[in-house]
Structure 1
């Protein structure tokens, strides 16, 4: 382990530091870190609202509370792309020495301008169901499905704003005008140019079959996966693709369609066979899916973070530990961050492959599993270590534990190197502050 960490320190860490020195990557990391209070703040309510207890959701619904839980969750994660756009544009503008607030607001406005602003709904008119278009924004594009487009908008619009600002395309006002008014009015020509380009982009994508850049992106990513059959290898391919896309900021929600079709096909098919006493048609794919999910359990790594050297990792570990037990990984993804951090590309992408093929091999050889597929319907916040014994007994539990342990040993060296690096940075900053205080 120590030799491997030495290799990471000697080879990967310098490369990672060099990449993080890039203004775009530095802005991405800062932008995502600044969204951490939202993901951590919502974790408690998310856990309470989806507590893994039979009938819990119905209890909250009968008490008139569940709708409010959903509203709070949607107000945070349901419009998370909005926070990403503003935070990322602000961070990138700071890197480019441009006006941060103007860049963030212009980027946010451009994001909304590109978005579909009507949805079709069915209403009753004269006793007949009629399709009607109403003005509305879809939470799908404001949430997970819009994160990647939001990232592109924030980076490109901010870069364009900074470039045009450097060309002095601003309205010059007298020095007597308050600075707040000057900052607001001076970029009016620049904003006009940007919004005209956004208009052209919206028209261009409106001519496609998708109708918008958001739908176009979802179609391009999701459609090739819709033809995949439900098999162990298809589960591994999709989960690996999810991991890679998630690293680059493309939320799992983009692939929710094809993934949802496959997982529901497995669940419904297995439950039907189980109720009729027949062999489960998707037993092995179900175990593979569970193995990869167990490999994605971050609780052990978050606990190791609590014991880390750096204050950053220790405090983040304390805050993210309980959410991680309930499969809420966003605080770690955005807080470390893992997303777009070169240090964590290898464990993020290799873990699903290893745990997928490992669980596939174990269940078809020395650890055959008998599933109770009805347990699959438990809430997604059900801890993996609590769900698996109920779903597959001893053998499935052993497979899941093996996948968790393997995942931990894949991730741990990279976290250790990152923690040591953060500790060195903190020590250097503390020494610098002490010297400045002494000089003062």
Structure 2
């Protein structure tokens, strides 16, 4: 393992350091890290509100508490793209040495401008169902489904705003005008140009069948997958695609169409056959899906972080461990960050792929699984290491251990490499701080 770490360090660290000198990547990492208080802060309420105990959610609904749990969760994660747009634009503007607050607020406004702003609902009128259009923003696009488009808007709008600023396309105000007023009014011309471009983009995508840039992006991603049926290979393809897209900051929500259709087909059909005492028609695809899901368990990553030398990673690991046990991975994904971090490309992209094929091979040869599909109805926060043993007994538990071992072997060396880099940066920062302090003391001594 040490030889592997040494080899990866010699190859990956220089590449990572070079890539992270890129202003876009640096802004992405800082922007995601700045959203960590939101993902960590809401984790406890999300866990309690969706605690994996039979009847718990129904109890919360019966006493009227669950709607408030949903409101808090939606206020954090349901509109998460808004926070990413602002944070990312702010960080990128700092890299480009342009006005951070103006860039962030203009990017945020551009993001909302491109979003569909009406929703069709069905209402009863005179005993008949009538379609009614209301003005509203969909949480889908404010949350995970809008994340990638939001990232693009933040980067492109901020870059264009910086360009306009350098070209002095600004209102010239006298020096006597307060700085706050100058910073607010000076960019009006440039902002007008940006908003006109947003208008043109909105109109052009409105002419497509999708109706908006958000839906167009989702349709393009989903198109090649919509024809897939539940099979071992299709499950591996979709779950692996989820892992790849996550690395590039594209949330799993964009694939909820094909993934939801396939998973619901497997669950409903398997439960129906199970209740009739028949063979499960989607046994192997279900086993593969759960095996890959187990390999994506991020609790080990958080545990490795706790044992790190880096103070940043150690603290983030402590805060992320409990959420990750309950399948809330955003604190690790955005806090490390893993997204667009070249150090973590290999484990993020290949871990579940390897686990998928290993699971397929074992389940069809030496580890036959007797599956209770009703366990798939447990809340999504149910830890995998609890759900799998109850769902499939000893063989399923052995499969769980194997998939998690794959995850440990794949993630451990790369977390160590990241820890080494962060620790070196912290030592360098501490040395610089001590040097500055010594110079200040020396300067004070000279003045005295």
Calculate the TM-score normalised by the size of structure 1.
Answer: 0.99
Query: Secondary structure of 1:132's match?
Result: strand
For 2:446, the equivalent position in structure 1 comes to none
Matched, 1:245 2:238: no
Cα distance in structure 2, aligned partners of 1:25 and 1:279: 50
Query: Secondary structure of 1:397's match?
Result: helix
For 2:143, the equivalent position in structure 1 comes to 143
1:67-114 deviations in Å (ceiling 9; x for gaps): 000000000000000000000000000000000000000000000000
Alignment of 1:41-440 (within 5 A): 41-440=41-440
Cα distance in structure 2, aligned partners of 1:170 and 1:229: 55
Cα distance in structure 2, aligned partners of 1:93 and 1:308: 32
Cα distance in structure 2, aligned partners of 1:19 and 1:217: 27
Cα distance in structure 2, aligned partners of 1:231 and 1:124: 41
* Alpha-carbon distance, 1:301 to partner: 2.1
Cα distance in structure 2, aligned partners of 1:372 and 1:292: 18
- Where structure 1 has 5 or more consecutive residues not aligned to the other structure, the ranges are none
Query: Secondary structure of 1:130's match?
Result: strand
4+ runs of 1 displaced by more than 4 Å?
Answer: none
* Alpha-carbon distance, 1:305 to partner: 1.0
Cα distance in structure 2, aligned partners of 1:213 and 1:422: 38
Query: Secondary structure of 1:122's match?
Result: strand
Calculate the TM-score normalised by the size of structure 2.
Answer: 0.98
Cα distance in structure 2, aligned partners of 1:323 and 1:268: 29
Query: Secondary structure of 2:137's match?
Result: coil
Cα distance in structure 2, aligned partners of 1:124 and 1:402: 54
1:387-409 deviations in Å (ceiling 9; x for gaps): 11110001001101110011111
1:135-192 deviations in Å (ceiling 9; x for gaps): 0000000000000000000000000000000000111111111000000000000000
Query: Secondary structure of 2:130's match?
Result: strand
Cα distance in structure 1, aligned partners of 2:63 and 2:121: 29
Cα distance in structure 2, aligned partners of 1:211 and 1:325: 39
* Alpha-carbon distance, 1:302 to partner: 1.0
* Alpha-carbon distance, 1:339 to partner: 0.2
1:119-148 deviations in Å (ceiling 9; x for gaps): 101112222111111100000000000000
Cα distance in structure 2, aligned partners of 1:434 and 1:120: 61
CA RMSD of aligned residues (A): 0.6
* Alpha-carbon distance, 1:33 to partner: 0.3
* Alpha-carbon distance, 1:223 to partner: 2.0
- Where structure 2 has 5 or more consecutive residues not aligned to the other structure, the ranges are 441-448
For 1:7, the equivalent position in structure 2 comes to 7
